[in-house]
Structure 1
Protein backbone atom coordinates (compact mmCIF):
# COMPACT_ATOMS: atom_id res chain seq x y z
CA UNK A 1 0.00 0.00 0.00
CA UNK A 2 1.48 3.31 -1.07
CA UNK A 3 1.38 6.31 1.23
CA UNK A 4 -0.38 9.26 -0.41
CA UNK A 5 2.24 11.62 1.04
CA UNK A 6 5.24 9.74 -0.33
CA UNK A 7 7.78 11.87 -2.15
CA UNK A 8 9.13 10.95 -5.55
CA UNK A 9 11.70 13.31 -7.06
CA UNK A 10 10.73 12.25 -10.59
CA UNK A 11 7.15 13.51 -10.21
CA UNK A 12 8.17 17.11 -9.54
CA UNK A 13 7.07 19.77 -11.94
CA UNK A 14 9.65 21.37 -14.21
CA UNK A 15 10.15 24.43 -12.00
CA UNK A 16 10.67 22.17 -8.98
CA UNK A 17 13.37 20.21 -10.77
CA UNK A 18 15.01 23.46 -11.88
CA UNK A 19 15.09 24.86 -8.34
CA UNK A 20 16.49 21.58 -7.04
CA UNK A 21 19.22 21.62 -9.70
CA UNK A 22 20.20 25.22 -8.96
CA UNK A 23 20.39 24.51 -5.23
CA UNK A 24 22.50 21.43 -5.94
CA UNK A 25 24.98 23.52 -7.94
CA UNK A 26 25.19 26.40 -5.47
CA UNK A 27 25.38 24.60 -2.12
CA UNK A 28 29.12 23.80 -2.31
CA UNK A 29 30.23 27.40 -3.10
CA UNK A 30 27.95 28.69 -0.31
CA UNK A 31 29.39 26.16 2.14
CA UNK A 32 32.97 27.09 1.20
CA UNK A 33 32.24 30.80 1.58
CA UNK A 34 30.50 30.19 4.90
CA UNK A 35 33.44 28.07 6.11
CA UNK A 36 35.89 30.88 5.34
CA UNK A 37 33.58 33.40 6.99
CA UNK A 38 33.27 31.17 10.06
CA UNK A 39 37.05 30.96 10.40
CA UNK A 40 37.42 34.76 10.43
CA UNK A 41 34.20 35.79 12.22
CA UNK A 42 33.03 32.85 14.33
CA UNK A 43 29.57 33.50 15.70
CA UNK A 44 26.91 31.03 16.74
CA UNK A 45 24.80 31.89 13.70
CA UNK A 46 27.73 31.32 11.32
CA UNK A 47 28.52 27.92 12.82
CA UNK A 48 24.86 26.83 12.64
CA UNK A 49 24.52 28.06 9.06
CA UNK A 50 27.69 26.19 8.07
CA UNK A 51 26.34 23.02 9.67
CA UNK A 52 23.07 23.38 7.74
CA UNK A 53 24.95 23.94 4.48
CA UNK A 54 27.10 20.86 5.10
CA UNK A 55 24.05 18.73 5.89
CA UNK A 56 22.27 19.91 2.74
CA UNK A 57 25.39 19.23 0.64
CA UNK A 58 25.65 15.74 2.11
CA UNK A 59 21.95 15.23 1.45
CA UNK A 60 22.41 16.08 -2.21
CA UNK A 61 25.54 13.97 -2.50
CA UNK A 62 23.94 10.87 -0.98
CA UNK A 63 20.57 11.64 -2.66
CA UNK A 64 18.60 11.85 0.58
CA UNK A 65 16.35 14.42 -1.10
Structure 2
Protein backbone atom coordinates (compact mmCIF):
# COMPACT_ATOMS: atom_id res chain seq x y z
CA UNK A 1 0.00 0.00 0.00
CA UNK A 2 1.37 3.40 -0.96
CA UNK A 3 2.04 5.70 1.93
CA UNK A 4 1.20 9.38 1.63
CA UNK A 5 4.02 11.90 1.86
CA UNK A 6 3.68 14.58 4.52
CA UNK A 7 6.08 17.50 4.16
CA UNK A 8 5.61 18.44 7.82
CA UNK A 9 7.13 15.14 8.93
CA UNK A 10 10.52 16.15 7.49
CA UNK A 11 13.33 17.36 9.67
CA UNK A 12 13.91 21.11 9.86
CA UNK A 13 17.16 20.94 7.85
CA UNK A 14 15.38 19.05 5.06
CA UNK A 15 12.67 21.70 4.88
CA UNK A 16 15.36 24.41 4.73
CA UNK A 17 17.21 22.53 1.99
CA UNK A 18 14.01 22.37 -0.06
CA UNK A 19 13.46 26.10 0.38
CA UNK A 20 17.02 26.90 -0.69
CA UNK A 21 16.67 24.61 -3.71
CA UNK A 22 13.47 26.32 -4.78
CA UNK A 23 15.17 29.74 -4.61
CA UNK A 24 18.21 28.75 -6.67
CA UNK A 25 16.57 26.60 -9.34
CA UNK A 26 15.03 29.49 -11.34
CA UNK A 27 18.30 31.42 -11.87
CA UNK A 28 20.13 28.17 -12.64
CA UNK A 29 17.50 27.22 -15.21
CA UNK A 30 17.64 30.63 -16.89
CA UNK A 31 21.44 30.53 -16.98
CA UNK A 32 21.41 27.01 -18.40
CA UNK A 33 18.84 28.00 -21.05
CA UNK A 34 21.04 30.90 -22.20
CA UNK A 35 24.10 28.66 -22.17
CA UNK A 36 22.27 26.02 -24.20
CA UNK A 37 21.25 28.61 -26.79
CA UNK A 38 24.76 30.08 -27.06
CA UNK A 39 26.87 26.89 -26.75
CA UNK A 40 24.62 23.95 -27.57
CA UNK A 41 25.87 20.53 -26.58
CA UNK A 42 24.16 17.35 -25.49
CA UNK A 43 25.28 17.84 -21.88
CA UNK A 44 23.75 21.33 -21.79
CA UNK A 45 20.47 20.02 -23.14
CA UNK A 46 20.35 17.23 -20.55
CA UNK A 47 21.15 19.66 -17.72
CA UNK A 48 18.43 22.01 -18.94
CA UNK A 49 15.91 19.17 -19.03
CA UNK A 50 16.88 18.11 -15.50
CA UNK A 51 16.55 21.69 -14.20
CA UNK A 52 13.16 22.07 -15.88
CA UNK A 53 11.99 18.79 -14.36
CA UNK A 54 13.12 19.92 -10.89
CA UNK A 55 11.47 23.31 -11.40
CA UNK A 56 8.17 21.73 -12.44
CA UNK A 57 8.25 19.24 -9.57
CA UNK A 58 8.75 22.06 -7.07
CA UNK A 59 6.07 24.22 -8.70
CA UNK A 60 3.46 21.44 -8.75
CA UNK A 61 4.65 20.11 -5.35
CA UNK A 62 5.43 16.62 -6.65
CA UNK A 63 8.31 16.29 -4.17
Q: Do Structure 1 and Structure 2 share a fold, with TM-score over 0.5?
A: yes
Aligned counterpart, 1:63:
61
Structure 2, unaligned runs of 5 or more: none
The Cα shift of 1:2 comes to: 6.7
1:33 aligns with 2:31: yes
Q: Tell me what 1:19 maps to.
A: 17
C-alpha root-mean-square deviation of aligned residues, in Å?
Answer: 1.5
Task: State how many pairs are aligned.
Answer: 63
Runs (4+) of structure 1 moved beyond 6 Å? Answer: none
CA separation of 1:11 and 1:42: change in aligned 2, threshold 3 A: same
For 1:43, the equivalent position in structure 2 comes to 41
TM-score normalized with structure 1 length = 0.88
Q: 1:18 to 1:45 in 2, by over 3 A?
A: same
- Give unmatched runs, 5+ long, in structure 1: none
Which residue of structure 2 lines up, in the alignment, with residue 9 of structure 1? 7
